[in-house]
Amino acid sequence: MKVKYLNTLLENNDLDPAIKDEVIKSYQEIKGKVRDLGIHMDEDAELMFSNHVLALLKRIKSRSFVEDMSEAFDQISPDVFQMADGIVREYFEREDIPVNETEVFLVATHLEIAIQKEKEETKNE
């Protein structure tokens, strides 16, 4: 992601200066993990995913999570849920808090959409 967009996202997420550097480092690690999995997102999807990741990292730091959405978990393939868990688990563990599965699910939705979109584009070629 272009630095200009990252700076805009950081400003919009109103990060505490005390955690800003750590959040940026974690964000870059997550983006690297997604890239290593071979998941490609178009610019809009990447912007939404990046915004979500920054907000997630902020929620982990503040220990303030979204409401339970476990009833929707079956909308994501188990493999993609596992991928998302592998991407974000260590950030929960660093803060010594249990992994919030709804947060994992939300990350997984971004991955699932990107994977399905790529499959569709490949099929149409």
Domains and CATH numbers, the chain: 3-123 (1.10.1790.10)
pTM across the whole model: 0.85
**pLDDT exceeds 60 at position 8:** no
Q: Which residues contact 30 (CB under 8 A, 6 or more apart)?
A: 53, 87, 88, 91
The distance between the two most distant Cα atoms of the chain, rounded to a whole number of Å, is 48
Q: Measure Cα distances from 107 to 76, 81, 122 in Å.
A: 10, 8, 23
Provide the 3-class DSSP secondary structure of residue 116: helix
Terminal CA-CA length for the chain: 26
CA distance to 3, 48, 63, 64, 117, per residue, from 102 (Å): 29, 17, 13, 12, 23
Of the two residues 9 and 91, the one the predictor is more confident about is 91
pLDDT over 50 at 1, yes or no: no
Task: Kindly report, residue by residue over 29-44, the tens digit of the pLDDT.
Answer: 999 999 999 999 988 8
Per-residue pLDDT at 33: 96
Residue-wise pLDDT for 47-96, tens only, equals 899 889 988 998 999 999 989 899 999 999 999 999 999 999 999 999 99
